[in-house]
Structure 1
Amino acid sequence: MLDLASNDYLGLTRDPRVTKAAADAALQWGAGATGSRLVTGTTELHAELEAELAEFCGFPAALVFSTGYAANLGVIAALSGPGTVLITDEHNHASLIDGGRLSRAETVVVPHRDVAAFRDALANRTRKRALVVTDSVFSVDGDLAPLAELAEACRDHGAGLVVDDAHGLGVLGAGGGAALTAGLAGEPDVVVTTTLSKSLGAQGGAVLASERVIAHLIDTARSFIFDTGLAPSAVGAALTALRIIRAEPALPGRARAVARELAQRLADAGLSASTPEAAVVSVRAPSPAEALEWSLRCRAEGVAVGCFRPPSVPDRVSRLRLTARADLTPSEISTAVEVILGSNPASGI
């Protein structure tokens, strides 16, 4: 099966170097972390990963969580509360939405990527403290948040900025992610969350921030304090994947190039394909039923594609979601395009 459905953007999940690192870590440290990070769940590997991830992404410090979902829950709740207003993009990931619900903060949802709406919400808020919360690369269509403009709006109105860079790490720039590419890495009023399960091909989540924020999260983020630490095998795999990206800086650009080629060839054939800014290509379908049928036809022909349809998409528009992987060959790209075009229920083929 040709995989265009996962988030393995750099093709590292099955890289022998990464899988060997996972096995070696399990043999040395055990199958699980055995307890929370504050008790028995932190190994030397965790500390190495945090230090190297922070350096790579341009931040003073990092903190590894068991999942990216847990990282978002912990950050939003720990940095806000009933006296805070969260101003969030309407297309944000569910984990950011759920973090807001758990925080009991007031939440204002603004139109997608609308900087003026963010500014208006900041200027007219009724709470003293405010956080702007956004994905960096939106997971459905792969478009980018206007991070530089949002950071400026936050500073004009005394707010913090939280960015979920799950789909930007390993893909944007030389791999350091959205904040680094936008010139915001290391800023004290910017906090970045990310996952280790996409470009790094492993499992887990992380937060990148100032040392002060990381210290605060260690003491207050419930999804860190009361959760079993990330398994050593996942930590070892993620650490090796990170080192591969550093040693092979062409990988992120290759993933973006594959995305552009897929999108262009599908658009040239008459499909409504998004213009990718990272490694996600979205192809719109006429209806939920046709999107599902399209994806099943593709799978029957040996190509796995994502099928996103209501209620999991905020705009209620069904589409196929394609992952551009850095390790796709020209032949595999051609096969994928041919299968997607030939399996389209609307084409009558």
Structure 2
Amino acid sequence: MDSKLIGMIKDVVDAGKRRGLLHLDSKDEELDGRSITLDGRPVTSFSSCSYLGLEFHPALVDGVAEAVTRYGTQFSCSRAYVSNPLYAEVEALLSELFGGYALVTPTTTLGHLTALPVLADERDAIVLDHQVHHSVHLGANQARAGGTRVELVRHDHLDQACDTIRQLANRHRTVWFGLDGVYSMFGDMAPTQLLEEILAVAPNVRLYVDDAHGMSWTGRHGRGSFLSRFPLNDRVVIATSLNKGFGAGGGCLVFSDPEERDLVRTTGGPLIFSGPMQPPMMGAVRAAALIHLSPEIIGLQAALRAGVDRVNTRLCDTGLPPMAVNESPIFFLQCGLPRVVYEVAKRMLDDGLYVNCSVFPSVPMKRGGIRLSVTAAHTLAEIDQAIDRLAFHIPAVLRDFGVADGQLADDFANAIPREAVADTPPEGNGLRMQSATSIHQIDRATWDAVLGAAAHCSWDAMAAAEAIYGGENAAPEHRWRFRYLVIRDRSGQVVAATFLTALLAKDDMLSAEDVSREIEERRTTDPYYLTSKVIMAGSTLSEGNHIYLDRTGPWRDALRMIVAAAEEEAERCEASTIMLRDLPDGDTEMDAFMLDEGFAKVPILDTHTLTLDGADEKTWYAGLDKKKRNQLRPALEHVDDTEVSFHGSGLAPLTTEETVHLHDLFEQLAARKLRINVFRVPPSLLPEMLRNPAWELGVVRIRTDAAGPQQPVAFWAAHKHGHTYAPLLCGLDDAWRHRDIYRSMLLQIVRRARALSMRKLRLGMDGEIEKRRLGARTERICLYVRTSDDYHGALLNDTVAAVATGRKSH
């Protein structure tokens, strides 16, 4: 290291030590994950990276005790010779957790020093985000010593990485781009849209991602922030920490190719010449992995999310926006120079609150700030206290140190990549658009406040949709691309929000059933006949108005921004159609606006909503008119022959066989009902819904004493948010239709919504006769569509004409 740099670092750190803020020792007999004793008094610490608070989990503590009792304090032998007895099981568990091939390393740093010099030799190049974790720089420098070309790109200009990588890709076997999944200081996340562009530069470009701070608190099985937003494939290698959120110790490398894993395992220097993970911590890793692979991880993640949401909400309310607003438990509040940071931290410590000082060399000299990390151990009261005191101290210290208004904005301009937050510059009307490619980049509270109950697209529901339809190797109709848009005015108020989905759709999605049946005959031999790539506001996994629009503000300008973003996506994905779905019909202002923008209005099936304002079922039934009561009377008799069980996150589990049976029931109904003709859903749909807190499944059986079968005869999947219950799909056993199963299921849905104290039951499209009998209100809706290619439209019209005249269209 350069001597001048060493001197600068020492000066900054010594200043923090003199103020009693750095290089401290806690004086505690025991720890609880929240409170530490500094200078003789207890303080609440917001400095821990143990995001789920697992270090005191009984299973991990017992795992350590059992391992040290059985295997001793150490197994002092290089893994090149022999591994301790826990390694094979632990790596198998972690491979299942990540969906790849895991290799455990004694620390994350040693993982980088192991992997990078093997993955990148003298024929290769590495391009690093200059703010990627220091340990990745160490691994790259080790590779550089072996002849690898290493280049840096500025974190605040990551878009320049494409040009650098393009030049290197022409001259090297492989070009690796190294970055963090979640950046440990600013808390911003890897910009996945940019990464897709980087991978598109050349086929010999690969990603090396350190997701140490993204581990455990999000993703399926807690596999991390990055893998919840970007697929693990043969062009991606993940390095992560088994400390921090995971609660144990060591590091882990994850590969998609077992041969690449074995190459690193066999030839990586630290795995030959250094010691292994020792048995006690291997016992903790094993216990933590089992927790991650169990339903318990969902509750742990939810507990942390509650704290993260509270911080985001309170920071917004107090006018202290963090550097990056997302689902990360890391919050960075701008202060500027180290002396300003230290003064804020000192005043917080005087209030009994310990926060981290993010100063040089962790961040640039003038881009220091307070780093607040939240764990599942923190109470909401402790969070509120910390935010209240920060909201008091930061403005006061800025005034005391003469920091002028606007100075921080200038100093922190473009501090994180534009693609990481993807905000458009303000329009002339002051509107700014945030764009993201994953719901994990959008603040949960903001999203749910405007779209949580409007359609089947709450924050959690979108996380499930990404998991179901995000597979790179899935069938074309199951590979979706998402783009989330949030538009704010000058005051930061949300004026519009939606999500766009690039997907393959059937051109006859809303055609008459006889037309779709004719086309489906052709698809038996040509499965993608009359299908097109569509940019849709919403998706085929949701119903409802997917566009939040504050009509009291500049809504036309906001909607133009949404249309422009859809056009951009259409060009990127080579889509021929843009579709804005499920908007209220009869809106003359909207009709005129959309016509001016080149959209045609298309009426679609009515939707139905039941307001649950009756005190109980008897009151509701009495409130129906006589004709409806008479029509429902047989169903009320049949419903008593049925029983319902409920399944989902926090509810009773279903076996794999039961889930497959429900999927078959859905397929039976889908094959018969073509009024809304969409592609079949993937087999992963129901299992993912069962894991996600936004969804529940109601499973209907005919009681055995009513001569019912052992297997369920019907089910529904419903989205739950706030006071709105919204079934989206269902399945029915055709063999039992004579037992009034559909009506019985509708009545059970009403009962379930009432039992959950829901105020609104959104029953959606189709089945209008039965839904009106329940007293549901009919709502006329429409969609607006614009297409750039009329060839498929001509083919569809030809099929319509053929069906009308009774001739075959093929």
In 1, Cα distance between equivalents of 2:269 and 2:261:
13
AA partner of residue 258 (structure 1): G
Match of 2:309 in 1: 260
Q: 1:233 aligned to 2:300?
A: no
In 2, Cα distance between equivalents of 1:290 and 1:223:
41
AA partner of residue 247 (structure 2): G
Q: Contact 1:90–1:314 (CA<8 Å) still a contact in 2?
A: no
1:236-315 equivalence runs, <5 A: 236-247=283-294, 248=296, 249-274=298-323, 275-314=325-364
Question: What are the Cα deviations for residues 323-349 of structure 1, in whole angstroms up to 9, with x where unaligned?
Answer: 121232222222322343455461779
AA partner of residue 95 (structure 2): A
Number of residue pairs matched by the alignment: 346
1:95 to 116, 130, 135: 135
SS for the counterpart of 1:299 is helix
Match of 1:73 in 2: 113
Q: Contact 2:337–2:366 (CA<8 Å) still a contact in 1?
A: no
In 1, Cα distance between equivalents of 2:364 and 2:99:
32
AA partner of residue 199 (structure 1): G
In 1, Cα distance between equivalents of 2:191 and 2:386:
31
Q: Contact 1:10–1:251 (CA<8 Å) still a contact in 2?
A: yes
AA partner of residue 299 (structure 2): A
CA 1:148–1:192: 2 relative to 1, 3 Å = farther
Question: What are the Cα deviations for residues 221-253 of structure 1, in whole angstroms up to 9, with x where unaligned?
Answer: 112221110111111112212222333213224
Question: What are the Cα deviations for residues 284-327 of structure 1, in whole angstroms up to 9, with x where unaligned?
Answer: 11320121232233334332221110122147411111112123
Consecutive unaligned residues in structure 2, runs of 5 or more: 1-34, 36-43, 401-810
Following superposition, the deviation at residue 213 of structure 1 comes to 1.3
- Is the deviation greater in 312-321 or in 132-141? 312-321
SS for the counterpart of 1:199 is helix
In 1, Cα distance between equivalents of 2:398 and 2:158:
39
Q: Contact 1:202–1:238 (CA<8 Å) still a contact in 2?
A: yes
- Is the deviation greater in 13-22 or in 135-144? 13-22
Following superposition, the deviation at residue 69 of structure 1 comes to 0.9
Q: Contact 2:132–2:180 (CA<8 Å) still a contact in 1?
A: yes
- TM-score scaled to structure 1, two decimals? 0.91
Q: 1:170 aligned to 2:216?
A: yes
AA partner of residue 239 (structure 2): T
Q: Contact 1:259–1:281 (CA<8 Å) still a contact in 2?
A: no
Following superposition, the deviation at residue 21 of structure 1 comes to 1.4
AA partner of residue 312 (structure 1): S
In 2, Cα distance between equivalents of 1:92 and 1:279:
18
Match of 1:219 in 2: 266
In 1, Cα distance between equivalents of 2:276 and 2:356:
30
SS for the counterpart of 1:88 is strand
Q: 1:159 aligned to 2:205?
A: yes
Q: Contact 1:140–1:313 (CA<8 Å) still a contact in 2?
A: yes
Following superposition, the deviation at residue 6 of structure 1 comes to 1.5
Taking only aligned residues, the RMSD between alpha carbons, in angstroms, comes to: 2.2
Question: What are the Cα deviations for residues 70-112 of structure 1, in whole angstroms up to 9, with x where unaligned?
Answer: 1112111111133221111122000111111111122222232
Match of 2:235 in 1: 189
In 1, Cα distance between equivalents of 2:399 and 2:387:
17
Q: 1:33 aligned to 2:75?
A: yes
CA 1:116–1:334: 2 relative to 1, 3 Å = closer
Q: Contact 1:89–1:109 (CA<8 Å) still a contact in 2?
A: yes
In 2, Cα distance between equivalents of 1:156 and 1:287:
38
Q: 1:13 aligned to 2:55?
A: yes
CA 1:304–1:246: 2 relative to 1, 3 Å = farther
Question: What are the Cα deviations for residues 154-208 of structure 1, in whole angstroms up to 9, with x where unaligned?
Answer: 25411221111101121232311234313412x1221100011111112110101
Q: 1:138 aligned to 2:188?
A: no
SS for the counterpart of 2:372 is strand
In 1, Cα distance between equivalents of 2:177 and 2:275:
29
Q: Contact 1:115–1:146 (CA<8 Å) still a contact in 2?
A: no
Q: Contact 2:314–2:384 (CA<8 Å) still a contact in 1?
A: no
Match of 1:180 in 2: 227
CA 1:246–1:332: 2 relative to 1, 3 Å = farther
In 1, Cα distance between equivalents of 2:278 and 2:371:
30
Match of 2:166 in 1: 123
AA partner of residue 151 (structure 2): V
In 1, Cα distance between equivalents of 2:64 and 2:389:
34
Q: Contact 1:260–1:276 (CA<8 Å) still a contact in 2?
A: no
SS for the counterpart of 1:237 is helix
CA 1:225–1:147: 2 relative to 1, 3 Å = farther
SS for the counterpart of 1:307 is strand
CA 1:347–1:109: 2 relative to 1, 3 Å = closer
SS for the counterpart of 2:361 is coil
In 2, Cα distance between equivalents of 1:33 and 1:184:
36
In 1, Cα distance between equivalents of 2:226 and 2:85:
27
AA partner of residue 89 (structure 1): D
Consecutive unaligned residues in structure 1, runs of 5 or more: none
- TM-score scaled to structure 2, two decimals? 0.41
Match of 2:155 in 1: 112
- Is the deviation greater in 224-233 or in 321-330? 321-330
Match of 1:202 in 2: 248
Q: Contact 1:38–1:225 (CA<8 Å) still a contact in 2?
A: yes
In 2, Cα distance between equivalents of 1:45 and 1:300:
46
Match of 1:320 in 2: 370
Question: What are the Cα deviations for residues 114-152 of structure 1, in whole angstroms up to 9, with x where unaligned?
Answer: 564222112111433211111111111111112364255
SS for the counterpart of 1:289 is helix
Q: Contact 1:89–1:112 (CA<8 Å) still a contact in 2?
A: yes
- Is the deviation greater in 320-329 or in 262-271? 262-271
Identity %: 28
Higher relative contact order (CA 8 A, sep 6+): 1
Q: Contact 2:192–2:230 (CA<8 Å) still a contact in 1?
A: no
AA partner of residue 111 (structure 1): R
Q: Contact 2:48–2:375 (CA<8 Å) still a contact in 1?
A: no
CA 1:239–1:339: 2 relative to 1, 3 Å = farther
Match of 1:50 in 2: 91
CA 1:173–1:122: 2 relative to 1, 3 Å = same
Q: Contact 1:64–1:204 (CA<8 Å) still a contact in 2?
A: yes
- Is the deviation greater in 292-301 or in 235-244? 292-301
Q: 1:4 aligned to 2:46?
A: yes
In 2, Cα distance between equivalents of 1:316 and 1:76:
32
AA partner of residue 162 (structure 2): R
Q: Contact 2:124–2:149 (CA<8 Å) still a contact in 1?
A: yes
In 1, Cα distance between equivalents of 2:94 and 2:156:
28
SS for the counterpart of 2:245 is coil
